[in-house]
Amino acid sequence: MKNSVHYRPTQVAINLEAIKANIGNLRQYIGSLTSVIAVVKANGYGHGDVEVAIAAFEAGVQMVSVATPDEAVRLRMAGISGDILVMGPSPTSFAAKAAELDIIIAVSSAEWLQMALDYEEKISKPLKIHVKIDSGMGRIGLRDAASLQAILSIVEHTEDVQLDGIFTHFSCADEGNQGTTEKQFAMFKGLVQTLREKPRIVHASNSAAALLYRDYGLDAVRFGIGLYGIASSDYVAKKLPFTLERALQIESELVHVKYVEAGTPISYGGTYETTEGEWIGTIPIGYADGLRRGLRGQDVLVGGERAALVGTICMDQCMVKLAREMPIGEKVTLIGRQGQEEITMEEWAERLGTIPYEIAVSIAERIPRIYIGKDGQPI
């Protein structure tokens, strides 16, 4: 893996050693009988799906999972040879390609599976499937034993399908309401027990459940947001069994610095006007990069100190009020640490009224990803 040459000073630095450490700590916590599935959907939550998948397999995960067929194909075409699971819905037209590329897909109904088998493009080798159970999330998945038996009946009467797994998804594992998660788990276990033969992988836990409900580990847990060093919620953050190492930092630099008199308007609409003589710096990052306009007033780190963004955030640039004159080229950290100060995704999320997940996946791909390993050295 080699980082490309990039001329833009704005970049996302991804610490792959942090990701490996999170996997290692989770594996130690859950025990050797439960494996880890690394969730790399949405371009690895903005961290880079291929690079994270490679690092995850090196750290000992059993499988990686994605949300869409195209994400799975992208990984396979990039040379990822390990198990890949598509957790979201797939069109019946994808079944033959999935079988060809040895991609595992989620199945939620017997009707879908039969349509896939009847599709004009025939399956060349056994299609591996994981049956999805809707235990209370209300998205995709079957909800009763009869529906599960209908799928099993098709599997038992064809050599074109292999039942590799069965899974569900918890809706409230990152909240204090344990009753909902317990009810979902009981419902899921009840349906699993109707199987005449247990498939290779039975899995239920997402990041929150993997960290808080160790007894629900089963054959594997799916490590998503936690893989990247981010707690699923404030509730989870307070109950972590080990420290999550953050993998992502957004960095840029000052490209212009000027002193302006009191009463000087800054940026579109003059939404900020200096009240005294001020040093204003310009940073080459804007809302096209994922720095949402709602982040006006958000702090960044310059010279190890907090400094507020002022004026309307532009498409490609933004302005910051500096404590003093600083040189062009001075490093700016938008998410991450400088010295004793740190700005987190959670801080952005709170200002925007959203969750860290949305922040992570909204970082534009036009910002170069720079991958670093031990001691922060580029890979």
Active-site residue identified among 122, 125, 198, 268: 268
Distance, first Cα to last Cα, the chain: 6
The residue type of 84 is I
Assess whether 268 carries a catalytic annotation: yes
Active-site residue identified among 41, 97, 128, 132: 41
> CA–CA separation, 12 vs 119, rounded Å?
43
Judge residue 191's burial from the number of C-beta atoms within 10 Å of its C-beta, 0-12 exposed, 13-18 middle, 19 or more buried: buried
Judge residue 238's burial from the number of C-beta atoms within 10 Å of its C-beta, 0-12 exposed, 13-18 middle, 19 or more buried: exposed
Assess whether 198 carries a catalytic annotation: no
> CA–CA separation, 273 vs 261, rounded Å?
10
SS3 per-residue string spanning the chain: CCCCCCCCCCEEEEEHHHHHHHHHHHHHHHCCCCEEEEECHHHHHCCCHHHHHHHHHHCCCCEEEECCHHHHHHHHHCCCCCEEEECCCCCHHHHHHHHHCCCEEEECCHHHHHHHHHCCCCCCCCEEEEEEECCCCCCCCECCHHHHHHHHHHHHCCCCEEEEEEECCCCCCCCCCHHHHHHHHHHHHHHHCCCCCCCCEEECCCHHHHHHCHHHCCCEEEECHHHHCCCCCHHHHCCCCCCCCCCEEEEEECCEEEEECCCCEECHHHCEECCCCEEEEEECCCHHHCCCHHHCCCEEEECCEEEEEECCCCCCCEEEEECCCCCCCCEEEEEEEECCEEECHHHHHHHHCCCHHHHHHCCCCCCCEEEECHHHCEC
Residues with a catalytic annotation lie at 41, 268
